[in-house]
A and B are shown apart, each in its own frame.
Chain A
C-alpha cells in the first residue's frame, strides 16, 4: 500500500469551503442542511434526510458527489425491492474454451462512494436490514467471499414524511446507526424565488469537482485527531446523559416527553461531528459552540418521544433546547465567580 496522504487544518478549511461554495451553486438556500451534510461526510458518518418530496434531494446529493469527486448511485426503495437488488448476486457463468462453469458475483448498486437510498421506509424490514448491515460493515459477503465497498462510503437515506400506504418506518435501533438526521422543510419565500430563477432560466452554473476520494479520507483522519478539552467533553456528555429520562440529571422536558434517551453512540457522534465543524470554522480545537452546532441533527432521531407529547404537539426541538440550556448552565457553574459577575448571569 502506498503511503496515506496527509493534510493540514488550513487545507481542510480550504477544501471544506470550496465544496460548500460549489454545492451552493445549484442548491438555493438550505445552508444548515448543506453544512450538516458536509459535516457528516467528513466525519465519515451516514445521514438520514427527512422531509416532504420535491425539495431537490437527488440534485443536492448528486451535486455533492460530483463536487467531491465521488461515484454516486441512487437506489429507489419500493415494497418489492429485494436485498440482492442492493447488494448484488451470484450468477452462473461458463467459460467456452475450458467448458468450466463457475459463479461470478455481480456487484449491486451499493458498490459506490455516495449512495442515495431514496424512501427507505417503503421497503420491508428484510431489505432495510441488508442496507443497514452494509452501512455498518462496509462490506458485502456472498457465498463465503467478502467484497469490500469503495472508500469513502457514505450512505444518505431519505424518509418521506408524507404518510403513504405500506410504510415501514425504521426502528430506533436502526436510526441510531445514522450519525445525523437532517430535517428539511419547504424553503423560505426568497429561497424559493432564487431556486426558480436558478432552475428555470437559460443560464446554468456548473459546479466543479474540487477534491477526490484520497483527500476526503485524509480529511476524515484529520478530523478524528482534533483535540477536545475535558470540559467540552463533559459538556457533550451532559447533553447526552440528561436526555435519558431515568438519569438523575435528566432535564424536566425529557422526564416528561421522552420515552428513550440517546445511546452512548450519540456522545461519540456529537464529538466527532463537532470536530469537523471546528476545523470547518478554522479552529484546531473543539469548543462548546461546535457541539451546540451539531446537537440538533445528532440528537433528533435518538430521542424516542412519548406518544402523549406527540399528540400535544411537543416535538424533539423543545427537548433539545432544554438539553443545551442545562448543559450551558452546568458548564457556567464551573467557571469562576468573577466571570459570572462580569457576564451578569
Chain B
C-alpha cells in the first residue's frame, strides 16, 4: 500500500505589509541590543540566539555556571520587549503544582460556602526563567516540558491555556553537584537551542565591576509591543527557503546519524545523532535569523549561525570521545567543515 498522494500546503504569499514589518524588525533588533547593552556587558551571541529562538517560538537551555548574569539578561530582554517575566528557582523539593498552579479551597465569607479556586502558578507569564532545572526531580521537569510543548497546563483535570508568546529559558548548571537530575537526551531534544554561556573577558569583567558597584542606574525602554512580537513570530514561517539550503540542512543532520556512509568524525566519536526535530529547528532558526536581519530569504550562513545551538545537545558523544575530551562542539565544527 504505497501511494504517493502527499500534499504540501501552499505557502502564503508575501504582502507589502509583511515586508514593512520585516524592515521594522531590523531596526527594532538594533534598538533591543542597545537597550540590553545598558544592563548587560558582552554575551552578544547569547543575546542574539535568545532573540532568534524567541521569534522561532522555540525554547532555550542555557548552560553556564552561576553568577554570569543570566537572570539579569532575561529580565532585561523581557522589559525591552514589554513582556511579563517570572523566574522559578528549581529545587529538589519543588512540585509540579508549584509551577503550574493549584486548586485551593476558598470560603466565601458572606455565605460560608466553600469552593475550589484556581491559583495560577508562575508559568502563567510570557518569559519564564527556569533556573537550575537539573536540581528538581523528573516529574516536576516533565510538567515544565509538557507546558513548553503544549502551551497549556492541566490542573485538576482542567486544561488552561498559557498566554502567547510563551518562552522558556531553562538554565542547567554544568558543574556536577550532589543531588542533581540531569535532563535525559529525549528531554534535551525538546529545547530548540542549547546556548553555552561562558565567562566574560577581562575587559568585560572590568566593565561589569564598574557598572554594578557604582551608583549606575539603567532604565530599559520597551522597543516592541506584545502584538508585534506575535505577528513577527507568525511571519518567520513565511520566510522563503531554497531547495539548496534545505538539502544542506538535511545533509548536515542526516550525517550525524551513525549510518554506513556517515563521515569519519561521526563514526569515531558519536554514539547517537540528531533527530528530525533538529532539521526542523535548523529551518525555523535560520528563517528567524533572516528575518532579524531584514531579509525574507534564508542564506546558507543563517544555517551555520544556528548550527551549534541546534546540534550541540542533540549529538551524544561516545565513550571514546569523552575520554579524549572531544566535546560535541568540536564535532559540530568538524561536521560543518566536512559537509559544507
A: residues with CB less than 8 A from B are 21, 24-25, 28, 31, 35, 52-56, 58, 74, 76, 78-81, 85, 94, 96, 106-107, 109, 119, 122, 160, 162, 164-165, 186-187, 189, 192-205, 281
Contacts and interface: CB of A to CB of B under 8 A. Distances in A.
B280 interface: yes
Contacts of A119: 186
B220 to A, nearest CB: 32
Interface stretch (B8-16, B62-70, B195-203): B8-16
B283 A54 contact: no
Contact of A96 (B7, B114, B246): B114
Given A35-B1, A58-B149, A192-B279, A198 B142 contact: no
A57 to B, nearest CB: 10
Contacts of B8: 194, 197-198, 201, 203
Given A31-B2, A162-B185, A196-B283, A74 B250 contact: no
A199 B138 contact: no
B11 A201 contact: yes
B254 interface: yes
Contacts of A189: 250, 254
B148 to A, nearest CB: 12
B287 A52 contact: no
The 9 closest A-B pairs by CB, nearest first: A54-B275, A203-B9, A78-B138, A54-B277, A53-B186, A76-B142, A200-B283, A202-B238, A202-B237
Given A25-B7, A31-B1, A193-B250, A201 B157 contact: no
Contacts of A194: 6, 8
A85 B246 contact: no
A202 B157 contact: no
B25 to A, nearest CB: 16
A205 B316 CA distance: 34
A204 B272 contact: no
The majority secondary structure among interface residues of chain A is loop
A78 B250 contact: no
Q: Could you say which of B2, B141, B157 has the most chain A C-beta atoms within 10 Å of its C-beta?
A: B157
A96 B113 contact: yes
17 contacts: A28-B6, A31-B1, A54-B274, A54-B314, A76-B142, A78-B137, A79-B138, A165-B184, A186-B254, A200-B283, A201-B11, A201-B238, A202-B234, A203-B9, A205-B7, A205-B9, A281-B1
B78 interface: no
B258 to A, nearest CB: 11
Contact of B276 (A31, A78, A165, A192): A192
A203 B283 contact: no
A106 B314 CA distance: 39
Nearest to A281: B1
Nearest to B286: A200
Contacts of B241: 200
A204 B234 CA distance: 12
B189 A54 contact: yes
